[in-house]
Amino acid sequence: MMPKRSPWQSPEAGALAATRALNSDLSVDVCVVGAGMAGLLCALELRERGRSVLVLERDSVAAGETGATTAHLSTLLDTRYFELCDMHGADKARAIATSHMRGIAHLERVANAHGIDCAFQRVSGFLCADDERQAADLRREAAAATQAGISCELVRRAPLAIADGSALHVPHQAQFEPLAFLRGVVRALQASGVPIYAPVSVCDFEIRSEREPIALSTSDGRRVVANFVVVATNSPINDVTVLHTKLAAYRSYGLSVAIPETIPALCWDLATPYHYARTAFDALTHEPLLIVGGEDHRVGQELESEQHWQQLEDWVRDRFPSAGRVVSHWSGQVLETSDGLAFIGRNPGQEQVLVLTGFSGNGMSYSGLGAELIADLIVGDDNPARELYEPARKPHSLGAVGRYVRENLNTLEQYSDWLGPADVERIEDIRRGEGAVLRRGLDRVAVYVDQEGGAHELSATCPHLGGVVAWNDAEKSWDCPCHGSRFDCYGKVIAGPAVSDLNQLAGGSKKAAEAR
Ligand code: FES
């Protein structure tokens, strides 16, 4: 079986684990929750502006979505500029483009300032059309992106042949190796005295009144008191409902295949679901790779998610006959917003809690621009992107409202799983190494059967807001279709917004044979 890892993950990535145990209560000016790209860049930026900072991480450095990114750094976003212009107006579309230019420049500046060897390289990006209908969208995008201040031109073909038609060429984009970059950021944080505590699970945010420090409680009974808290956990764990009605969680799949040589270019297509491709060297084998991704779908809403890797491989072999063996495969999680823009700034109604979320597939440039924006908000400096990414904003254009309603209707529909049929009727119907949800009276039970035939029974009720979790056969995890919380096969929470595990049922682990 091909290995489950992204091209950036290798034993050397273990050097990222430069963390400490949290053995005492602490107080600090700024506490960052989440040690991925966004959190660590915020920590570094704030430290460089003279603030005392510490970082808390539930798992280990870059254990979340940073390791899964394909690290396309582009000012051409996953939401087209003609849509952004319709939703936000021409002036804001220009400000959006400028903010992402700044975000990419921030990453480049950090890499240069700290001498980080992460293969940061300015390359061309190509948005690729497959047919005349897509070519028409490409022409609209060329006009809208140009109006937004992005230098671009239509060309006959992209250098990576991911589609049959013309392409929109955008020079001066960038690519890098995200975990190599983050290793350098961790070194810079250590050198400047910023500790990273892990594993530490934050389970409560106590906010007594505005202007008073915030007390964070951890699951093992420690307290961290901070003047400001930055929540950089991909899905915000401080907020139960407000932001989550404005976010939709998607799984996205990645695959790398051996190729003869790398080609410095980033490519995307206009298909639904869409695909993207770049090249790089594998961190483990050091061979040249074609890295492709896509096949996105709402979390917890596909019964056979493993098939998406096969579909990606078929897609590659159709287009790249010289592609060699599959080197690795992996998946990650993307949070989409209804108006195509992230939420970066003060948590609605809370002056001292700041969030970064809803990166909508552009997490690297958002991490760079987010670090500057969060630091500006905390130190009281102005930032031209402040209003754009305001977390309290509401969707107001017809397109954004329509998408907001569709995604929330989808979420509400997921609660009907309480009334629908179970996946299987008996534990003996579950294959070894797989899971399924059973009905037991009015309750739903999530059962994982391990390779030895042991049946592990959990409540199927998501501790966030009561959705029914679904088995993810690709990752061997329990995923909630409502807001994207994820739990490992034994019920341990691995992705928020849930902050606690699935409930173990009494006598929940037994041999499947005994359970029959
Ligand atoms: Fe919200 Fe499960 S993630 S109910």
Whether this model's pTM surpasses 0.85:
yes
Ligand 1 pocket test: pick from 410, 482, 487, 500 the residue with the most ligand atoms within 8 Å of its Cβ.
482
Least confident of 187-196, 257-266, 418-427, 441-450: 418-427
Is the CB of 462 within 6 Å of ligand 1? yes
Whether pLDDT at 165 is above 80: yes
**233 C-beta neighbours (distance < 10 Å), count:** 28
Is the CB of 483 within 6 Å of ligand 1? yes
Whether pLDDT at 391 is above 50: yes
The residue whose two tokens read 């078929």 is: 314
Give the pLDDT confidence of 286-330 residue by residue, as tens digits: 999 999 999 889 888 877 778 899 999 999 999 998 899 999 999
Residue with more model confidence, 171 or 404:
171
User: What is the residue-averaged pLDDT of the chain?
Assistant: 90
Whether pLDDT at 507 is above 70: no
Is the CB of 73 within 6 Å of ligand 1? no
How many angstroms does the Cα of residue 371 sit away from the middle of ligand 1? 28
Residue nearest to atom 3 of ligand 1 (CA): 483
How many angstroms does the Cα of residue 339 sit away from the middle of ligand 1? 22
Contact indicator for 196, 19 with CB cutoff of 8 Å: yes
How many angstroms does the Cα of residue 348 sit away from the middle of ligand 1? 20
Mean pLDDT, residues 228-246 taken together: 86
How many angstroms does the Cα of residue 480 sit away from the middle of ligand 1? 6
In the prediction, which pLDDT does 449 show? Answer: 94
Quick one: which of 73, 89, 90, 72 has its CA closest to 146?
Answer: 90
Residue nearest to atom 4 of ligand 1 (CA): 465
Residue nearest to atom 1 of ligand 1 (CA): 483
Contact indicator for 152, 261 with CB cutoff of 8 Å: no
In this structure, the dihedral spanned by the alpha carbons of residues 170, 171, 175 and 181, taken in order and rounded to 10 degrees, is -120
Query: Which two structure tokens, joined as six digits, stand for 50?
Result: 């003279």
Mean pLDDT, residues 41-65 taken together: 95
The beta-carbon contacts of 417-426 under 8 Å, at least 24 apart in sequence, are 417/444, 417/467, 417/468, 417/470, 417/481, 418/444, 418/468, 423/471, 426/516
Query: Which two structure tokens, joined as six digits, stand for 509?
Result: 């682990």
The CA–CA distances, whole Å, from 431 to 138, 186, 305, 453, 460 equal 46, 42, 16, 9, 18
Q: Report the nearest atom of ligand 1 relative to the CA of 480.
A: 2
**Measured distance CA(435)–CA(429) in Å, rounded:** 10
Quick one: which of 478, 480, 498, 479 has its CA closest to 490?
Answer: 478
Is the CB of 497 within 6 Å of ligand 1? yes
In the prediction, which pLDDT does 423 show? Answer: 80
**Measured distance CA(61)–CA(66) in Å, rounded:** 9
Q: Report the nearest atom of ligand 1 relative to the CA of 469.
A: 2
**Element housing 310 (H / E):** helix 307-319
Give the pLDDT confidence of 418-476 residue by residue, as tens digits: 667 778 788 888 999 999 999 888 788 999 999 999 999 999 999 998 899 999 988 89
pLDDT band at 239 (very low <50, low <70, confident <90, very high): confident
Is the CB of 480 within 6 Å of ligand 1? yes
Phi, psi for residue 116 in degrees, rounded to 5? -85, 120
Is the CB of 465 within 6 Å of ligand 1? yes
How many angstroms does the Cα of residue 33 sit away from the middle of ligand 1? 20
Mean pLDDT, residues 236-263 taken together: 88
How many angstroms does the Cα of residue 465 sit away from the middle of ligand 1? 5
Is the CB of 213 within 6 Å of ligand 1? no
In the prediction, which pLDDT does 277 show? Answer: 95
How many angstroms does the Cα of residue 410 sit away from the middle of ligand 1? 13
Ligand 1 pocket test: pick from 465, 499, 500, 501 the residue with the most ligand atoms within 8 Å of its Cβ.
465
Contact indicator for 29, 53 with CB cutoff of 8 Å: yes
